[in-house]
Amino acid sequence: MLTSITDGILCCLTGKTTSLVLPLESSEPSDGFEFVEVKPGRVLRVRHIKPDCDGNRDASVRDTIDADTGTSVHCKRKITVYRNGQLVIENLGDVLHSEILQCQDGDLEPCSTVEVELADYKEMPSSPDPNPVPPVPLPAGEQKPAPPPRRRRRKPKRTVLIDSTQVISSCKGTHSDVALFFVHGVGGSLDIWSSQLEFFSRLGYEVIAPDLAGHGASTAPQIAAAYTFYALAEDLRAIFKRYARKRNILIGHSYGVSFCTFLAHEYPDLVHKVVMINGGGPTALEPSLCSIFQLPSCVLHCLSPCLAWSFLKAGFARQGAKEKQLLKQGNAFNVSPFVLRAMMSGQYWPEGDEVYHAELTVPILLVHGMCDKFVPMEEDQRMAEILLFAFLKVIEEGSHMVMMECPDTVNTLLHEFFLWEPDMSRKGEADHTVSVCDTVNTLKIKKPVDK
């Protein structure tokens, strides 16, 4: 603690940060560490494990891979944004929901309409009631109240139409055209995915996990503009284009979920499925002006022991020796104060609003730790309401770092989601037995929070 305060004072006097994250030489090249220069002088460390399974496959396995064409699902949505801040989503095509733990088939649900009220707008009068109640005659002597103002018909501000066919298939480790991308959040590194990388590489999957700029063993530019959402998103775009296969699955945690959403939106033909772990609600990112991370870097350096302790308390359901060891092994929250401050201040992404998320047509698994103190469960529930193909799974004994606390549970959920393929054989039966439903679910979106 005393050393940290002394370093912070020197930081204030010299104007330089004392701890920098610089690239390290890997002592074990066989572990699959690579250093990729995404821009001149901007180098990211990437863990890339590519199983040598092509030469070991026999003809029967290759035939099975070629025959696995997947199931076609008709994605048709109409998204309407009104001037009073209401968002109406009409699902006109196939809507799939099923239990992932029993995910051998996917049940079709009837078409539905979801109406979302955005909290950023004030209450405004809506359209007239289609079934008005007849007025009640007033007793003699009482004054007749003034009639309510005439309500005008709502005019849409923006309308988005989605009409496409999505091919959803089972992704096995024996499939050579499948790649898994793991993206960490603020203060983390690729080491937080150690259990997942080991588990899925042993199953034959090709896995790719980068360190964001300033994190892990990637370079740490000393300019705040290097840590904006758009700068980091372009880094991950370069990594994705370098390692992408025909079918790619994106797995993001916390702030990393936003980058996975960005890539899924930019490359709908290449992204096959997405996993969002404690990512929060479908709101546009906006940094908090009253956050502790707005303090100068030297002050944050002095407070770094307290911040690390606070992260341990809030990020893990328990704070024992095991959790402290996991935090140390995962190299989490081990970034310079300058990088931490720049990352939190750079979380500005106005395009990533509710409409942006509603446009996604890929199956998405939402994993939430019940004890998470950073992201309320209501936010993931709102995300599940807006997404077209969403599966929400809550792990009761997990918190924000659920993939480190409960690796076996998370690995099982992810693997079953990778193998999941919808069964459309009940489509004809559902059309005859279930009429079109027009249920309206009202959902209030809170203001954006830092991830």
CA-to-CA distance for 246 and 437, rounded, in angstroms?
Answer: 36
**Active-site pick, 48, 175, 400, 415:** 400
- Domains, the chain, ordered by start: 167-419 (3.40.50.1820)
Pairing, β 71-82 against β 86-91: antiparallel
pTM of the model: 0.78
Q: What is the mean pLDDT of each run of 10 residues along the chain (451 residues)?
A: 37 40 39 91 95 52 51 91 88 69 46 58 40 54 58 75 92 95 94 95 97 95 95 98 97 97 97 97 83 63 64 78 72 79 92 95 96 93 94 94 95 97 64 34 41 57
For residue 194, what pLDDT is reported?
A: 94
Pairing, β 247-253 against β 178-183: parallel
Q: 215-227 burial by CB neighbour count: b if 16+ within 10 A, else e?
A: bbbbbbbeeeebb
| Numbers of helices and strands, H then E, in the chain | 14, 15
DSSP letter (8 states) at residue 173? T
For residue 51, what pLDDT is reported?
A: 85
- What does the block give as tokens for 103? 């995910």
235 catalytically annotated: no
Query: With contact defined as beta carbons under 8 Å apart, do 311 and 400 qualify?
Result: no
Rounded to the nearest 5°, which phi and psi values hold at 165? Answer: -115, 125
DSSP 34-77: EEEEEETTEEEEEEEE----TTT--HHHHHHHHH---EEEEEEE
* Residue whose pair of structure tokens reads 């079918």 in the numeric block: 247
- Nearest partner of 330 among 340, 316, 346, judged by Cα: 316
Q: Would you call 343 helix, strand, or coil by DSSP?
A: helix
**Active-site pick, 372, 380, 399, 450:** 372
CA-to-CA distance for 46 and 218, rounded, in angstroms?
Answer: 9
CA-to-CA distance for 162 and 399, rounded, in angstroms?
Answer: 35
**Active-site pick, 176, 194, 254, 297:** 254
- What does the block give as tokens for 360? 């996604």
* Residue whose pair of structure tokens reads 């809030």 in the numeric block: 314
Bridge partners (DSSP) of residue 390 are 364
CA-to-CA distance for 22 and 216, rounded, in angstroms?
Answer: 8
End-to-end CA gap in the chain = 27
For residue 325, what pLDDT is reported?
A: 78
For residue 271, what pLDDT is reported?
A: 97
| Burial degree of 286 (CB within 10 A; 0-12, 13-18, 19+) | middle
For residue 121, what pLDDT is reported?
A: 40
CA-to-CA distance for 176 and 52, rounded, in angstroms?
Answer: 10
Q: Would you call 317 helix, strand, or coil by DSSP?
A: coil
Rounded to the nearest 5°, which phi and psi values hold at 44? Answer: -115, 140
Residue type, 215: H
For residue 368, what pLDDT is reported?
A: 97
408 catalytically annotated: no
For residue 117, what pLDDT is reported?
A: 59
The tally of CA atoms less than 13 A away on the side-chain side of residue 175 is 22
- Nearest partner of 346 among 253, 236, 445, 213, judged by Cα: 213
CA-to-CA distance for 406 and 404, rounded, in angstroms?
Answer: 6
195 catalytically annotated: no
